[in-house]
Structure 1
Amino acid sequence: MGKVLGDVLGLAAAVAISPLPIIALILILATPRGRLNGTLFTVGWVLGLSALGAVMLAIASPAGASSHSHPATWVGALKLALGVFLVLFGARLWHRRPKDPAQAQLPKWMAAIDHLTPLKILGLGLALSALNAKNAPLTIAAGATIGSAGLPVGQQVASLAIFVLIATLGLLVPLGVFLLGGERAKTTLADWKDWAAQHNIAVMAVLLFVIGLKLLGDGISILT
């Protein structure tokens, strides 16, 4: 189990350092129902990661993902494909990044956060974790890694739970600052939001490129 955790911790950290969900959460916390909606957004995030990871475990475990303690060929092919996707996506984002960080613009849907109902906030958290073009491939790769290790079911579930916990730290930190920081929290979170907004694309591009290369290496290693 220790080796599996070592393999997925990097993936979990890459999910945790996701500027857009962090910015969305900070904007949500600034709304009149910030305490409730911020918690619901985080719950939706956890549910999305858990559901996608569980689906991968359900697919990987009975499909012979592990043979004589070595991942099956299809796991290598999956990691190779995910690695290629992330490298290309990261390169595309880097090419499209604003030359002047101060000119970076947030997605238009963020302007409507003030008007979202609690149920839609929950759905937004779920979508940004399980349906996001960056986070979904990383979670799929983590699920395949855990499922391909031949661990008992209990250890698979524990490994996935640890992955989800680490991947959620990026939201738990600002949520904790908001709930415990008092009035000073507003200034702190505003500074974080401004920095994340300016460097969002560059941070994502570098993360995707580095993790994509790691998955490429893993996939080639398994296939050869």
Structure 2
Amino acid sequence: MVLDLVLIGLAIAVFPLSVTAFVLVLSAHGGVLKGLVFILAWLACFVAVLAAVLLGTGGKPPAPHSPPSTASSAIKLAIGVGLVGYGWYRHRARRHKDQDGAGQRTEYRTEHRTEHRTEHRTGHRRTSSGGLMARLDRLSLWSAAALGPLLQPWGLVAAGAATVVDADMSHASSYLALFGYCLLATSSLLAMEVYTTFAPDAARVRLGKLRTWITNHQEQALVAVALVAGLFLVSRSIAQLTS
């Protein structure tokens, strides 16, 4: 169980969409407070899912090859297959997009030069990111709290919940494993929140670079996380079902 939770927690922590969204929240006006609310809501939802599973099992792992144990492994297998399929789909879509974009690159450069000359003459430039940041500046604390659970990678969260079915809460090690899992899954958000709180100027620069990198490599990161986590879940669940 511990190995499964470690890998799932890492995949949740580095999930590109969640990290990018949190960087944007921190970059907004009052971002530190909004980020804290985001994390608290994220953790509350995370803990609620685990608590629901433990209440359902009574804190005792099901017997091997029993219906609950088989159902847990089957759920993880289905999630793993779904992640592999999703990663493969995004990989194929990105390759297709790159091939289409190669044929349009010359036309784009011509249009971009024309647009740049127009902006230079008029002194105006369209900034979609500016509009996005303006909307985030108006983001309320309640909205920031709602974003936390909404932006969790729910496929991975469900895989973690299916893994927690095997937790034996009569041992202190299980409490430590679950605490470490929650901390690991939230570690990237906590690190950015603490960094922004105590070194806001340096954090603004570093997080801006992180956001740019994720934006430029988001598809590759999504594919990598989905494929690695999916293949791991498939292999582990098949081993559990056949052992």
Shorter chain as normaliser: what TM range? 0.7 to 0.9
2:63 matched to which residue of 1? 67
- Measured after TM superposition, the shift of residue 109 of structure 1 is 7.9
Q: Distance in 2 between matches of 1:9 and 1:92?
A: 26
1:76 matched to which residue of 2? 73
- Measured after TM superposition, the shift of residue 171 of structure 1 is 0.9
Of 173, 186, 201, which aligns to 1:168? Answer: 186
Q: Distance in 1 between matches of 2:161 and 2:71?
A: 13
User: Which aligned runs of 4 or more in structure 1 are off by greater than 4 angstroms?
Assistant: 62-65, 68-71, 108-111, 153-157
Query: What percentage of residue pairs aligned between the two structures are identical?
Result: 27
Q: Deviations over 1:86-125 (max 9, x none)?
A: 111111122233638xxxx99x988732322110101101
Q: TM-score, normalised by structure 2?
A: 0.76
Q: Distance in 2 between matches of 1:190 and 1:208?
A: 25
Output aligned runs, 1:202-217, within 5 Å.
Answer: 202-217=220-235
2:125 matched to which residue of 1? none
1:132 matched to which residue of 2? none
Q: Distance in 1 between matches of 2:181 and 2:133?
A: 27
1:124 maps onto 2:150 in alignment: no
1:17 matched to which residue of 2? 14
Moved more, 34-43 or 176-185: 176-185
Of 163, 171, 177, which aligns to 2:195? Answer: 177
Structure 2: gaps of 5 or more residues: 102-127
Q: TM-score, normalised by structure 1?
A: 0.82
Output aligned runs, 1:121-200, within 5 Å.
Answer: 121-129=144-152, 135-152=153-170, 155-200=173-218
> Using a 3 Å threshold, how does the CA distance of structure 1 residues 147 and 162 change in structure 2: closer, same or farther?
same
- Measured after TM superposition, the shift of residue 65 of structure 1 is 5.0
Letter in 1 for 2:159: A
Q: Which has the larger radius of gyration?
A: 2
Q: 2:180 is paired with a residue of what secondary structure?
A: helix
- Measured after TM superposition, the shift of residue 66 of structure 1 is 2.0
Output aligned runs, 1:85-104, within 5 Å.
Answer: 85-97=82-94, 99=98
Question: 2:59–2:169: 8 Å Cα contact kept in structure 1?
Answer: no
Aligned length, in residue pairs? 210
> Using a 3 Å threshold, how does the CA distance of structure 1 residues 149 and 47 change in structure 2: closer, same or farther?
closer
Question: 2:41–2:149: 8 Å Cα contact kept in structure 1?
Answer: yes
Moved more, 45-54 or 14-23: 45-54
- Measured after TM superposition, the shift of residue 11 of structure 1 is 0.5
1:5 matched to which residue of 2? 2
Q: Distance in 2 between matches of 1:152 and 1:110?
A: 48
- Measured after TM superposition, the shift of residue 161 of structure 1 is 2.2
**How big is the alpha-carbon RMSD for the aligned residues of Structure 1 and Structure 2?**
2.8
Higher relative contact order (CA 8 A, sep 6+): 2
